[in-house]
């Protein structure tokens, strides 16, 4: 028997609205690029590759963020031997913005500074 993906965003919406979906929605907030590559058998380089991964893996939605530059502060850099790019853990005792001066030093991007092209590419 061959498994066929049947992603359905309405399944996730039903669960979020406290309705009864046909099954538990399959969802992840993030997925390491190494896991995506291992699943597809090739690197994930484009938005189309990313969409293909989430679809073929059967996820009921795709987390596709817009692109923008924002300083989140420096996390603790960790080399665990698994992630080719290393991992960064959030500093849990404080955040990058704690004062007005911090906010002014790390301005939030305006809409014209955000690249929404991944949404157009995903179609």
Give the integer Cα–Cα distance in Å for 45 and 47. Answer: 7
Cβ-based neighbours of 36, under 8 Å, separated by 6 or more? 44, 49, 50, 53
Read off the pLDDT of each residue in 69-88 and give the average, rounded to a whole number.
63
Percent of the chain with pLDDT over 70: 82
* Contact call for residues 36 and 83 (beta carbons, < 8 A): no
pLDDT score of 108: 81
Domain ranges of the chain: 9-122
Give the integer Cα–Cα distance in Å for 22 and 101. Answer: 50
Q: Is the pLDDT of residue 83 over 80?
A: no
pLDDT score of 71: 65
Read off the pLDDT of each residue in 35-54 and give the average, rounded to a whole number.
94
Average pLDDT, rounded, for the chain: 84
Per the model's pLDDT, the better-predicted residue between 1 and 23 turns out to be: 23
Planar angle of CA 50, 54, 59, nearest 5 degrees:
160
Per the model's pLDDT, the better-predicted residue between 109 and 86 turns out to be: 109
pLDDT score of 79: 62
């Amino acid at each position: 028997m061959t498994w066929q993906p049947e992603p359905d965003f309405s399944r996730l919406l039903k669960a979020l609205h406290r309705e009864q979906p046909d099954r538990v929605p399959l969802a992840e907030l993030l997925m390491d690029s190494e896991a995506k590559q291992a699943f597809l058998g090739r690197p994930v380089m484009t938005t189309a590759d990313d969409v293909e991964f989430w679809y073929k893996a059967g996820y009921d939605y795709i987390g596709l963020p817009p692109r923008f530059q924002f300083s989140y502060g420096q996390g603790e850099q960790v080399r665990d031997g698994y992630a080719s790019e290393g991992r960064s853990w959030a500093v849990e005792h404080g955040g990058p913005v704690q004062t007005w001066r911090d906010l002014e030093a790390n301005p939030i991007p305006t809409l014209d500074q955000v690249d929404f092209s991944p949404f157009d590419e995903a179609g």
